[in-house]
Structure 1
């Protein structure tokens, strides 16, 4: 009798586990499908004007997408902008075969994780997602260095800042154990003396940055690019 009950519970558990797995896969597929038009547009642009191999690939969410002055901010550095607004880290991983591997970049700079936390991911899940991205990127571009720009503090998502800090610290701790994985902390310069996001760095939405915010990122990233052999010319 006990064995029969145990078998019934085992079947029920397996059924629930498979259902949960199916829902998770479906959610991932739906998330990936959401960005297909953006990825198709990148592919079309690549066919019309193929980016040179060996550049710096900037990838991630809207903070990358809206970096319209990227090339001018790093003169002399062959940059590729593949940010798609609202995306999370797994979205970049899902499409790595189309928007990472073909460029054969010498360096990848990622900003993502902000939306992951806002959509309910835990700090541990953000770390796992970044680890998965590094693995996937290196499947197509073996050994490519990956720089993670820390999740930024913002006015719009101040209530989530403690979780974002925890995600940042998890990625920082992991990065130091890896070869050619760098963590660049842009948060300190974006906070005022009271530890609050500096309002003058943000657009009216309190989330996306003005040029003053990007200026802090530029200064933080220039030495990193130099470490990997890229020379940023004087503007």
Structure 2
């Protein structure tokens, strides 16, 4: 009954979200579900778009931490909401580290307020089911390929940061600021040739910010 009510809540939430072109990730999610039938208890779940998916050595970056890596490339906040029952709840993680919003703004031209609103939906649905889990949001990164999106990304980051500051058992990982150079522009050495995905140096910046926030 509890799962049924949660599914209905997700459905109602999705019906009230702005109309978005949605990608079917069922096959990719099924592959991730099959990766380990016995995930670590009280794990730290990293979930989100390609910046999580392509983080080679994520588990090794935080030795001794029960990391679960569940990124699905190209995803948006609404995709994450849709897959909460498959990607989040089954693991009963002690901490959820979220990276979404980048594609919402950069690909779908959503506003900062759209991202903020959908993050609140994710937060409230997840907190209702996992009341004791720490929820950590990774700031939307500043990418050279998405310079035009940087003001909206910075605005969304600030809104989410302010919200989490008033909530218990949460954290905001500000990777945005250290990824900028002295000129206020994205540091080119942190990005691959596509100017969107990160190099190992970029992930080192993330590691330095996120590491102290892990439980």
* TM-score relative to the length of structure 2: 0.88
* Aligned match for 1:169, one of 145, 158, 183: 158
**Count of aligned positions:** 201
Give the match for residue 73 of structure 1.
61
Tell me the distance in 2 between the aligned counterparts of 1:25 and 1:40: 25
Give the match for residue 84 of structure 1.
72
Give the match for residue 110 of structure 2.
121
Give the match for residue 35 of structure 2.
45
Tell which structure's C-alpha radius of gyration is larger: 1
Tell me the distance in 1 between the aligned counterparts of 2:16 and 2:136: 28
- 1:102 partner SS: helix
Give the match for residue 181 of structure 2.
192
Is the 1:97–1:140 contact (alpha carbons within 8 Å) kept by the matching residues of 2? no
Residue 122 of structure 2 is aligned to residue 133 of structure 1: yes
Shift of 1:139: 3.1
Give the match for residue 209 of structure 1.
198
Tell me the distance in 1 between the aligned counterparts of 2:90 and 2:139: 26
What is the RMSD computed on CA atoms of the aligned residues? 1.9
Compared with structure 1, are the counterparts of its residues 23 and 111 closer, same or farther at alpha carbon in structure 2 (3 Å cutoff)? closer
- 2:185 partner SS: coil
Is the 2:94–2:132 contact (alpha carbons within 8 Å) kept by the matching residues of 1? no
Tell me the distance in 2 between the aligned counterparts of 1:208 and 1:53: 31
Q: Which runs of 5+ in 1 are unaligned?
A: 1-21, 229-235
Name the one with the larger helix percent. 1
Q: Which runs of 5+ in 2 are unaligned?
A: 1-13
* TM-score relative to the length of structure 1: 0.81
Shift of 1:25: 7.5
**Could you list the runs of 4 or more consecutive aligned residues of structure 1 that deviate by over 2 angstroms after TM superposition?**
22-28
Shift of 1:89: 1.1
Is the 1:60–1:83 contact (alpha carbons within 8 Å) kept by the matching residues of 2? yes
